[in-house]
Amino acid sequence: MDETKKTRVIVGMSGGVDSSAAAALLLEQGYDVVGITLKLWPQDCVSRAEDKCCGPQAVTDARSVCHKLGIPYYLIDEAEAFQKQVISYFAEEYKAGRTPNPCVVCNEKLKFGALLDRARQLGGDFIATGHFARVEKSADGRRMLLKKGRDPRKDQSYFLFSLRQHQLARSLFPLGEKTKQDTRQVARACQLKTADKEESMEICFVPDNDYGKFLAAAKLAQKHRGEIVSLEGRVLGHHEGIEFYTVGQRKGLGLSSPKPLYVIELDSVNNRVVVGDDSALDRDEFTVERCNWIPFDAPPAELRVQAKIRYNHPGTPALVQPRPGGGARVKLLAAQRAITPGQACVFYDDDLVVGGGWIAR
């Protein structure tokens, strides 16, 4: 073996400032860096996701950054896998009365799945992304640990909770110790065209963040009339499909009421939207399924954690009791609003990601 051979890192390039800065930092640290963009949309992405992470402008920007840094660049078509593993999941969850989190699934299946496979084909030792998170070895060296990014405003560890040990072991997060301002400074210092590019906070494949319009336009959901009912079962009105509603929604219900009404539950079996006042949104107990535990193979009988019930949730103290079959019961010390089936609930011990699961009905 050639002892002088550099460690090769395959960087997932989205065409944004974060992945650009990640590639620049790795190059600076002496790695052999290769840039890859996973093309996730079919040929009509110009009309469906023009400026998103697989659109023409994003590809142009990613290629420009790699050219500026003097590293190889590849555009790899993963549109079929994206359709099957992310888009289909997205639509099926809404049909089942759940609110999906496609970013978590995309990370697990594509960015740390397909990209890892491509890295092996290119002789890569690691993959890297522009996520604000950290990976470390446990004290005994037996497991990889996932931790929050140092910048609390940009931490993205929530979206990575489902990664397995073999994925974490081959992942690098160069921005884990950085702030957003730091990443822009890195990009500016390297004169990268993405240095001042605005970031998108939307789901990459949903134009204008209007998921209902997307589902209808892509023919992934069709209107089907059903009842809007009170908590007591009284019919208050009608809807055109439970796919177009989410728990906690207030606007667009088309109901006349002396006090504001909110979506409390989506009943896919009876095709009903259940509504009530805001007090009915508060819950302090629920179950999660398909859990992934990071610091250990088998969790203890009880864990005291901070639970994040959605990405922009600050976290709240909770008692978690794992159950046979990969689920867990979550008891919150203080009731929280709009706990939504289909969303990820991620458990933390300070900055360590203990694990997480998917909120069940």
What are the structure tokens assigned to 349, written together? 């011990």
Instruction: Say if strands 32-39 and 8-12 run parallel, antiparallel, or are unpaired.
Output: parallel
Q: Tally the C-alpha atoms within 13 A of residue 240's C-alpha that lie toward its C-beta.
A: 10
In terms of Cβ atoms closer than 10 Å to its own Cβ (0-12, 13-18, 19+), residue 43 is exposed
CA 295 – CA 143 distance, rounded (Å): 7
Instruction: Give the ranges where 190-244 is alpha helix by DSSP (H).
Output: 211-217
Planar angle of CA 232, 235, 239, nearest 5 degrees: 120
Taking CA 353 as the corner, what is the angle to CA 99 and CA 197, rounded to the nearest 5 degrees? 65
- Are the CB atoms for 330 and 351 separated by under 8 Å? no
User: What residue type is assigned to position 330 of the chain?
Assistant: V
Q: Walk across the sheet containing 32-39 and list its strands.
A: 73-77, 32-39, 8-12, 126-128, 171-172
For the annotated catalytic residues, the residue numbers are 106, 204
Measured distance CA(6)–CA(12) in Å, rounded: 19
Residue 71 CB neighbours (<10 A)? 20
